[in-house]
Amino acid sequence: MKSVARSYVWWPNIDKQIEQLCSSCLGCQRSGHMPKSAPVHPWEWPSNPWQRIHVDFAGPFMNFMFLIVIDAHSKWPEVFTMRSTTTTLTIELLRNLFARHGIPEQLVSDNGPQFISEEFRQFMKQNGIRHSTSSPYHPRTNGQAERFVQTFKQAMKNAKDEKRTLQQKLSVFLCKYRSTPHAMTNETPAKLLLGRNIRTRLDIMKPDLSARVSYRQDRMKLSRHTGETVRQFSKGQSVMVRDYRSSDRKWIPASIHTKTGPLSYTIDTGTGTLWRRHTDQLRACTVKPSETDVTTINLPEPEVGPITPEVSSTHQSSDKATISDGKEEVVPVMPTPKQKQTIISKSSPCVSVAPRRYPKREHSRAPVKLNL
């Protein structure tokens, strides 16, 4: 129009007046093209997982409707298969999802009838969720969910010939997507949402130190003790215990006092002290500690603690205890490694004298005291 007009006439501002004429034409405005798309304005990236989620429906696809939920921070996807997309069923699925991951601060959706109903508005209000909707017929506003819908449909189409159920295909797709680094964050959705990468079948190829150590320990036990069972002892059972105090004898009779570990026991040797021994240092026998010969030992075994006879209620403050045969027995004092013990026959009492633990300090002169 401008070129034709200028070929015949001209006056100042002719081009501007021709543009105003075209813009005021109702027919031209009705049939005009869409304007140039505005630059993409990305959503602000949330600082915490599950702070803002994007929700959308995909379908009908493969005879189902799919509810898509995307976490804006971690890009973690959730997909739910639905036969019906009513508001009640949508709220039920979202409530189940919020029970696992928590209630988000903001929910973004399109203007579908499920999301603009009064029931859904009350659900958002009761849970303190800020509901943001996209512009009508402008899916780019909810691009987080829209882009995943395309990826999801393409993956389901690629798995069409696989002999699996729809739920199996969906589970395999979600596991791979959640364990794959995202192009935007360069981290896996699982790492950003859960704080760890989920284990997949590809992780079997990686070396596992704990599994390797456990496997070698099992092989060591099988190679050394094939067909053998661990010897167990009960409380009060008579055993022969390994004696490391002298070289003239190796084993002495004793009885099991308590079990302190899978292969460890405390042993009562009948001398007023307890020994701790491994199951490899014990042998089952029928000889009791009271049947031992009269022997004098100069180097005592490091003990667990003293065994004192039961003291009557009327002599609790005394150092003597009354035994069953009416005789009095001196309660052994806590022995030290340098103490000598004298073992006498069964009819005689056992006396243990505890020497001074530390040497007595000798002062060259009397201490000078401050007298205020």
3-state secondary structure 140-152: HHHHHHHHHHHHH
| 175-188 confidence digits (pLDDT tens) | 999 999 998 899 99
Amino acid letter, residue 20? Q
Higher pLDDT, 316 or 232: 232
**Residue 350 pLDDT more than 50?**
no
Q: Is 293 exposed, middle or buried (0-12, 13-18, 19+ CB in 10 A)?
A: exposed
What is the spatial distance between Cα 331 and Cα 309, in angstroms, rounded to a whole number?
7
Pairing type for strands 341-342 and 77-82 reads unpaired
Q: For residue 363, what pLDDT band results from cuts at 50, 70 and 90?
A: low
Give CA angle at 359 (358, 361), nearest 5°: 120
**Residue 93 pLDDT more than 90?**
yes
Q: Contact 275/303 with Cβ under 8 angstroms?
A: yes
| 238-271 confidence digits (pLDDT tens) | 999 988 887 777 888 999 999 998 889 999 988 8
Q: Contact 257/267 with Cβ under 8 angstroms?
A: yes
DSSP of 80-129: EEES---HHHHHHHHHHHHHHH---SEEEE---TTTSSHHHHHHHHHTT-
pLDDT (0 to 100) of residue 140: 76
Instruction: Name 310's Cβ contacts closer than 8 Å, sequence gap at least 6.
Output: 321
pLDDT (0 to 100) of residue 223: 56
pLDDT (0 to 100) of residue 309: 46
Crossing angle for the helix pair 118-126 and 87-101, to the nearest 10 degrees = 20
pLDDT (0 to 100) of residue 313: 40
Give CA angle at 22 (19, 28), nearest 5°: 145
How many percent of the chain have pLDDT more than 90? 34
H/E run at residue 4: helix 2-8
Which tokens belong to 237? Answer: 């059972």
Residue ranges of the alpha helices (H) in the chain? 2-8, 14-23, 26-30, 87-101, 118-126, 143-158, 166-178, 189-194, 209-224
All domains in the chain, ordered by first residue:
52-201 (3.30.420.10), 233-308 (2.30.30.140)
Q: Contact 134/142 with Cβ under 8 angstroms?
A: yes
Cis check for the bond before 60: say yes or no (omega within 30 of 0): yes
Farthest-apart Cα atoms in the chain, separation: 146
| Closest among 269, 273, 249 to 337, alpha carbons compared | 273
**Residue 94 pLDDT more than 90?**
yes
Q: Contact 257/266 with Cβ under 8 angstroms?
A: yes
**Residue 346 pLDDT more than 80?**
no
pLDDT (0 to 100) of residue 228: 61
What is the spatial distance between Cα 158 and Cα 173, in angstroms, rounded to a whole number?
11
pLDDT (0 to 100) of residue 319: 45
Give CA angle at 140 (136, 144), nearest 5°: 120
Q: For residue 217, what pLDDT band results from cuts at 50, 70 and 90?
A: confident
H/E run at residue 175: helix 166-178
